[in-house]
Structure formats: C-alpha cells, structure tokens
Amino acid sequence: MQVAEGGLSHMSGFVVFRKILRSDGIPGVFRGFGTSAVGALPGRILALTSLEISKEMAFKYSEHFDMSEASRIAVANGVAGLVSSTFSSSYSVPLDVVCQRLMVQGLPGMQTYRGPFDVINKVVRSEGLRGLYRGFGITLLTQSPASALWWSSYGGAQHAIWRSLGYGNGTQKKPSHTELVAVQATAGTIAGACSSIITTPIDTIKTRLQVMDNYGSGRPSVMKTTRLLLREDGWRGLYRGFGPRFLNMSLWGTSMIVTYELIKRLSVKPEQ
C-alpha cells in the first residue's frame, strides 16, 4: 500500500489482503517471510544485547553526576536507545531493503526476484553496496525517537494500569503471573498504537526510498521521495498503509514485550 500507484494505495488493508490471497494465495501474504524471520534473529540479538549493556554502563557512569535517580534512568535509557539503534540499523537496513523488495515484486514498475540472494546481486550490481543501505540516514535519525516513544508509552501505560489495579508504590502484595502477562500485553499494544501514529509517515517515506527506482536521473533521496509521494497523493499519502501498520505495531509490541519480559524473569537467579 505504501509503494503502489493508483487504486491499490487507496484500498483498505482488508481489501488489499483479499486481493493478494486471490492472486497469489497464502504464499503471497508471506513473501519475504523466510528472509525476515531468519535474518531478524541476529539483528534482534544485536539490538537487545547492545541496549542492555549500554544501559547498564550509562547508569553506572551517571553515578558521578549530581542527578536524581529518575534523571539517571532517563539518561541511561536514552544513551542505550541511541547505541542500540546505531548498531541494529547497520544490520537491519540491508535486511529491510531485501525483504521489502521481495514483498513488492509483481507490482507495476517493480522488478521480480528469484530469492533474497538474487535481490542482493541485482542491487549491488546496479548501485554497489550503498544500494543495500538506501534509507540508512533516515532510519538512523528516526529510529531512536521512535524507540524512545515506544518505550516511554509502554512504561507510562504499564504504570497507569498497575495503579488502576491497586498496585501503588506502597502496596506489599505482588501481582500474579497472569496479571503480569496481561498488563504487559495491554501496555505493549498501547505503545505500538501510539508509535504507529507518529512513525507511519516516516516509515512510508523510508519504504518507498528503499524499493522504488522511478526517480529519473540521480540517486534517490529523502526529498525526492517525499516530493513524489506528495505529488501523487497529497499529505494523506504519508499515511498510506496506516491500518495494517497500526495492527502490525500493536501485535508486534505485545508479542515482543511479553516474550522479552518473560525471558528476563526466567533468567533471574532465585535468591538464596
């Protein structure tokens, strides 16, 4: 929906979903899944490992400054988000380019590929290695604020839900495992929804920059991509595919945070 021209970009997400099913069946909905699933694993490990390590280091280093604990936590999370974003973007941007080109092949004006390695081969042959890093700058500049928005929304939503359930600062009782999962899942859904509202325009520009080639002369750029999108669809074009992205971010946030928090709890050694 973000890159198609004409009628497809103005259809609802459900109509587009049915159209893909009719033309390509179930495999059409899962284009690029293998590359994304296998490729995302080392990327996620890199992102979360750098996040936790840099957060701990920044928090310890901030002890030397005259700051409140709340400020130290905020600074540590900010530094950790920046470091994590930088490390993960260096890996995730080429993966995004490959996955997105596999997803949109078959649309008018788009090349067809025999698989992920064919994508890499064709992109490198036509543009060199920098072709795999289309959108790296905008990803790097926007990933940190988007990540900060997600985590701050998650923390705020979780805090509000716990207080509404009667688990204030002075409460001695501990929530059950079911309550923990339910609250984290709800907060993750809210965080994903908030993040998608803010980041969809940036994601639309980034996706088009990474997969489209109809820019005329010169190398594609953020400004060229934005001008072309505005010329095609006006300002509402920035929110192409908002419905599916809204659902995706909410489901992704819920599944990611519940699994992540569960693994963190299981990894803590019991007190002796």
- SS3 for the chain is CCCCCHHHHHCCHHHHHHHHHHHHCHHHHCCCHHHHHHHHHHHHHHHHHHHHHHHHHHHHHHHHCCCCHHHHHHHHHHHHHHHHHHHHHHHHHHHHHHHHHHHHCCCCCCCCCCCHHHHHHHHHHHHCHHHHHCCHHHHHHHHHHHHHHHHHHHHHHHHHHHHHCCCCCCCCCCCCHHHHHHHHHHHHHHHHHHHHHHHHHHHHHHHHHHHCCCCCCCCCCHHHHHHHHHHHHCHHHHHCCHHHHHHHHHHHHHHHHHHHHHHHHHHCCCCC
What average pLDDT does range 120-133 have in this prediction? 84
CATH architecture of 1-133: Alpha/alpha barrel (1.50)
Q: Is the per-residue pLDDT at 215 higher than 60?
A: no
Number of alpha carbons in the 13 Å side-chain half-sphere of residue 242? 14
What average pLDDT does range 178-190 have in this prediction? 85
pLDDT at 18: 82
What average pLDDT does range 54-58 have in this prediction? 83
Q: Percent of the chain scored above 70 by pLDDT? A: 82
pLDDT at 8: 56
Kindly list the domain boundaries of the chain, sorted by start residue. Answer: 1-133, 134-266
pLDDT confidence tier of residue 107, bands split at 50, 70 and 90: low
What average pLDDT does range 244-261 have in this prediction? 80
Higher pLDDT, 145 or 120: 120
Q: Is the per-residue pLDDT at 255 higher than 80?
A: yes
Q: Is the per-residue pLDDT at 153 higher than 80?
A: no
Q: Is the per-residue pLDDT at 117 higher than 80?
A: yes
Higher pLDDT, 186 or 144: 186
What average pLDDT does range 15-41 have in this prediction? 78
Q: Is the per-residue pLDDT at 208 higher than 80?
A: no
